[in-house]
Amino acid sequence: MNPPDLCPACGAPNNCTLADPRTVDRACWCFSVSIDPAVLQALPPELRNAACLCPRCAEVEAQLQAANPPIK
C-alpha cells in the first residue's frame, strides 16, 4: 500500500496536509480545485481513495497557479 503522503500514481510527494500530523488541521490543496473524474477513474481500483494524487497527476497545476499568483 502506498504511504498517504505519496501520490499513488507516480510516487512523488502529494503535499496533502491531511497526511502530515503537523498540518492535519488545515484544508488540503485539493479542496480548492476541481479534479476531472476521468483522472480518478484512470487509476487502478486498488489505488483509488487510498491517498491524494499530486497536483501534476491530478492535472490541476494551472488551477493552483491561478488561485495563488506569484507575488511581484
Residue 21's domain comprises: 17-67
pLDDT band at 64 (very low <50, low <70, confident <90, very high): confident
Q: Is the pLDDT of residue 67 over 90?
A: no
Place 71 in a pLDDT band, splitting at 50, 70 and 90: low
Residues 36, 72: Cα–Cα separation, whole Å: 31
In a domain, 12, yes or no: no
The reply to whether 2 falls in a domain is no
Three-class DSSP labels, 41-52: HCCCHHHCCCCC
Total domains present in the chain: 1
Let me know if residue 38 belongs to a domain.
Answer: yes
pTM for this predicted structure:
0.75
